[in-house]
Every structure is written in structure tokens, then in C-alpha cells.
Amino acid sequence: MEDKSVASDLSAFHIDLEQLKRNWRWLDAKSAPHCRTASVVKANAYGHGMFATTQSLIDAGCNIFCVATMDEAIQLRRFLDSTDTDHSKPEIICFDGLQAYELDSYYQYQIIPALKQVSEIETARDYARKINRIFPVWLQLDTGMNRLGISAAELEIWLDSTIASYSGALDIKAVMSHLSCSDMPSHHANEHHRIRFLEMSKYTPSLPLSLSASHGILLNNAYHFDITRPGIALYGYQDSPNADFACQPILQWIAPILQIRSIKKGEQVGYGADFTADKQMRIATIGAGYADGYRRALQACGKINLGGNICKPVGRISMDSFVIDVTDISETDLNKTSQVCLLGTHYSASDMAFDLSTISYEVLTSLGTRPKRVYS
């Protein structure tokens, strides 16, 4: 049996920060002229690395960053405070709202919570009065998604008579909601959410409004209001049938070829021995697996670029490696490279998501922490 070991680097995600800046600037220009364009960097910037992407987005002109959890917010503030920058201190918005046991941290790290229920507003008010300081917050309204936010009934009954009493304690920086179907431009829920948002925001007059994330930006200016919040589009993806989209993916996944060997007809490959060679074959073992985000289901549909040749997996995807069929690739092509591309122009996160019956968000945020993130 022929056996050739190949020396190579580790699996890595190569991330183009200049393209990230171009993406943000395109989304900023796409937003209504008076809008501020925030950046959503939750879930480790959708798998791309929160720190490096945030710094690049600051360089591009962004100064509002949105995360999901207080832990993410604190990590981001610590990173920003550790860097030398000539920019004014960026705002960090925490979508998960207020956590009572972390109240001191909001001031310490200058985090703005998006308050999602009346009890959080009351807690923030009481704490601000206790320490005699203004508490900057966003308000999060539920306009029909029924996920997070203050309901229309709560808002009408409660805020109409009491919001004035909060003016000395809370500094409401913005009022936000979220569209449930913005990736489906013709869905009736989009206009329903927009109208409900306008109706509910009459209780908070003159405050900046924020409704649209990535796909909302692509709808039209009526959805933009004062602050847009792109997330997935920053990283080059969108799931709506919208032709006017100039953002490009910024991540390419490169993995090493660990070994190349020949196997005879009848030999088996991988766990479970569920692949049997029906002829003499040449196979290559790739240094990436499901622990890195290369799903086991890709055994049936993965597309791997080896020097311009598209290869398919054979046998099961293992935790740290998997095997591809390189029988039809010439010795010359095999000798030209010690690496393959798992995600890139040949096979995007959207392509992979389609094959896995999921969405690009899940593919990207499931990328593992073990591969290096290499920035350029």
C-alpha cells in the first residue's frame, strides 16, 4: 500500500478584514442617509472573531456594536479599553437586557442594556436613583415576533402615564424592535411589524428608532428609521432573494492534507466501515473534523477544493479529520499543494447551509475555536 505523509500547517479560517470594511460601508450607504449603522458582533462576530472584526469596523467608521450577552459585552469593552485608538468610545448594546446581579458592571464597562420588560425598566430606574447616576438604556419592543420585548399592551398601560417619572433616572438612547420575516421581502409580517413599531413608538416620542437588521436594510428605507443593525450581511451573506447585494463573504476555511494513500478494491474507510472501495482508489486525509465545525452530515454532500479540483468525502467525518477521494487528481496537482479549501468561493456557507437544510448563520456560528483565525 502506497502511503505518503504531507507536512502542512494547521486548519485555519482566513478572514479578509478589508472586505469586511467594504461590506460595512456598502450597508451604511444602503441605509437611509440620516441613519447610523451599527454592527452586530455577537456569537464571536458570527464565528469570525469579535475583537479583530470590531477593530476593523471601528476603522471603517462604525461606533455602535451589538452583542447578545453581558459576558460578550464585557469581553468587548475590555478589549477596546486595551487598545490605543483615536476614535471616541464606541457604544456597546447588550440585547439580553438587564441582569440584576450585574448592575454595577453596566457602569463599570459602559454597557447599554436593551431593556425587554417592565421589571427591567423598574430595576434600572431604582438602581440609578440609588447611586444617583443616569442609566443609559435602549428599550426593546415586541412588535409581533413574540420573542423578546415589551408588548403593546404593557407599553400603553404602563409607559403612557409613568415614562415622565423616569426622565431623571434613565437616559433612553434608542427604541428597538426586530422583524421576523425580513428575509422574505413580500411577507405581510414585515409591514405589520413596521406599522406596529410606529404605533408603539408614539409613547416614546423624539427618541431614535431601530427596526432593521441585515435583511431589513435590503427591504427599503421605510424600515431603516434612525439606526440599522446589520449582522450576517457584514460577513457577506444574506438569505433573501435580493439582487441588490454587493457584500462578499470574508472567510475562507483552509485545512491541511495530513496523508495520501492508495487503497485496493474492497478495502474500507473510516468509522463504522460504511464506505467500501469499489475499485482501487487514492484517498487523502484532511486535518479538520466535526470538532472544528465540519459537520458529520457533510459526508454526503461536502465539496472540497484541492487545487481547483472538487473532491467528495468518503467514509464518516471524524472529530479531527476526514477522508476525501483524490483518485482522479493527477500526481502533479497533488504535489502542488498541501492544503484544501473547505469553505470559499467554490462552496460558500450558504451552499453548505442549503446542503445541510439549515441557514448560513448556523454554519458560521458553529465554526470551532480550535482552528486559527488568520486576518489580512
Whether 271 is a known active-site residue: answer: yes
Rounded Cα distance between 68 and 51, Å, is: 15
228 sits in which H/E element = strand 227-228
3-state secondary structure of 8: coil
Q: How far apart are CA 25 and CA 46, in angstroms?
A: 18
Catalytic residue among 89, 202, 265, 271: 271
89 among known catalytic residues = no
Instruction: Please tell me the distance from the alpha carbon of residue 194 to that of residue 180, in angstroms, as a whole number.
Output: 11
Q: Which residues pair with 344 in a beta bridge?
A: 347
Among candidate residues 331, 334, 302, 333, the one with its CA nearest the CA of residue 316: 302
Measured distance CA(95)–CA(138) in Å, rounded: 9
Neighbour count for residue 231 (Cβ, 10 Å): 20
42 within 8 A of 66, measured Cβ to Cβ: yes
Helices and strands: H and E segment counts in the chain: 13, 21
CA distance 97 to 105: 13
Cell numbers for 290, please give them.
466535526
Rounded CA gap, 95 and 32, in Å? 23
Separation of alpha carbons 144 and 120, rounded Å:
20
Helix (H, G, I), strand (E, B) or coil at 28: helix
Residue 186 to residue 172: CA distance in whole angstroms: 33
Say which of 30, 42, 116, 173 is annotated catalytic: 42
CA distances from 253 to 10, 47, 184, 374 (A): 11, 12, 29, 10
Q: How far is CA 63 from CA 58, 88, 93, 177, 240, in A?
A: 6, 8, 11, 20, 27
Question: Could you tell me which residues come within 8 angstroms of residue 235 by beta carbon, excluding any fewer than 6 positions away?
Answer: 20, 23, 45, 46, 48, 249, 250, 251, 364
**Residues assigned a catalytic role:** 42, 271
